[in-house]
Amino acid sequence: MDLILVAVISLGAVGLIAAIILYVASKKFAVYEDPRNAQVAEVLPQANCGGCGFPGCAGFAEACVKAGSLEGKMCPVGGQETMDKIAAILGLQAEASEPKVAVVRCNGSCENRPRIVKYDGARSCKVAHATCAGETACAFGCLGCGDCVASCKFDAIHMNPETGLPEVDEAKCTACGACAKACPRVIIEIRPKGKNNRRVYVSCVNKDKGPVAMKACKVSCIACGKCVKECSFEAITVANNIAYIDPTKCRLCRKCETVCPKNAIVSVNFPPRKPKVETPETPASETQKAE
């Protein structure tokens, strides 16, 4: 009988002491956490992709709450909708932002860009880029080893085995920018999706001079400057032997696409062009129509 009594008392005493220590510790070392952190984290997509620039969704939530304003903060996966929700929780104003998408700026398919050597090193764009110029005469274009595909957490980018180039699935792409970071040649750009998902961009990053670029690839930008002259909105600039269309200035008139002698300018999601009969409409009205 004594034995049981001793056991109960001693265990009870140990439990009591432990309880006191735990109680004191929980009061003394308590860390105050803003309850809004959890609320914000709840509305985030929980993809933990890092596309916002913070370490995961929890990190982004904490940063939003701490900063006291949503300036410069954007969850590329959740988009405007999520940011509005966060704004409502925090009683702040969300910055208006455009939805974006990853754009592959190389059209050097096997057909357009002949393969002149065979690369048999490690199947990694990073290694290939550091070792050699790649399998073609273009030292700037896609290497085709698929680092971007491996980097995507949303299954939104895949290699097309026919062209040997990556293709972005617009529906799945969240514009987190992982592929753009993974590409050692900075071919992938995160661009605004554009009105009705329509975009016009230069699908080439070759910085070689015209004649050299021309030899390497059928659809390379040769920096002839025709598009610059054609553009009525000063949206196109040529620097380092490469043209660039500023998406904020571009009005999607597609005139540049028609004048490009190398078909390096690409437009996506436009309806098929009407056969040229009547006088061309002014670009401004065209955009209005598109709306």
Partner 1 sequence: MKTFRIGGVHPAENKLSASSAIEVLGLPKQAVYPLSQHIGAPAVACVAKGDVVKVGTKIADAGGFVSASIFSGVSGKVAKIDSIIDASGYRKPAIFIDVDGDEWEESIDRSEALVKECDLKPEEIVEKIKNAGVVGMGGACFPTHVKLCPPPGSKAECVIINAVECEPYLTADHRLMLEKPEEILVGVSLLMKAAKVEKGYIGIENNKPDAIKLMQEKATSYPGIEIIPLKVKYPQGGEKQLIDAVIGRQVPAPPAIPISVGAVVQNVGTAFAVYEAVMKNKPLFERIVTVTGKSVEKPSNFLTRMGTPISKLIDAAGGLPADTGKVIGGGPMMGKALVNTEVPICKGSSGVLIMNYKEARRGEARPCIRCAKCVNACPMGLEPFLLSTLTSFDEWERAEKEDIVSCIECGSCQFTCPSNRPLLDMIRLGKSTVMGIVRARSAK
Choose between 114 and 283: whose C-beta lies nearer to partner 1. Answer: 114
Choose between 123 and 254: whose C-beta lies nearer to partner 1. Answer: 123
Residue 139 found at the interface with partner 1 (CB under 8 A): yes
Residue 48 found at the interface with partner 1 (CB under 8 A): no
**What's the CA gap between 14 and 176, in Å, rounded?**
53
Residue 144 found at the interface with partner 1 (CB under 8 A): no
**What's the CA gap between 104 and 156, in Å, rounded?**
12
Residue 152 identity: C
Residue 117 found at the interface with partner 1 (CB under 8 A): yes
Please state the closest distance from residue 142 (CB atom) to partner 1, in A.
15
The count of chain residues that interact with partner 1, using the rule CB under 8 A, is 17
Residue 121 found at the interface with partner 1 (CB under 8 A): yes
Please choose, out of 7-15, 17-25, 96-104, 113-121, the segment that lies near partner 1 by the rule CB under 8 A: 113-121
Distances (CA, A) of 195 to 100, 190, 250: 11, 15, 11
- Residue 170 CA, distance from chain mean position: 11
Residue 131 found at the interface with partner 1 (CB under 8 A): yes
Residue 30 Rama label (left phi>0; alpha psi -120 to 50; beta) = beta
**What's the CA gap between 199 and 194, in Å, rounded?**
6
Query: In this structure, is the dihedral angle defined by the CA atoms of residues 27, 33, 35 and 41, taken in order, positive or negative?
Result: negative
Please state the closest distance from residue 132 (CB atom) to partner 1, in A.
4
Residue 134 found at the interface with partner 1 (CB under 8 A): yes
Please state the closest distance from residue 128 (CB atom) to partner 1, in A.
9
Residue 17 found at the interface with partner 1 (CB under 8 A): no
Asked if residue 245 lies in contact with residue 289, where contact means CB atoms within 8 angstroms, the answer is: no
Residues making contact with partner 1 (CB under 8 A): 116-117, 120-122, 124, 126-127, 130-134, 137, 139, 208, 212
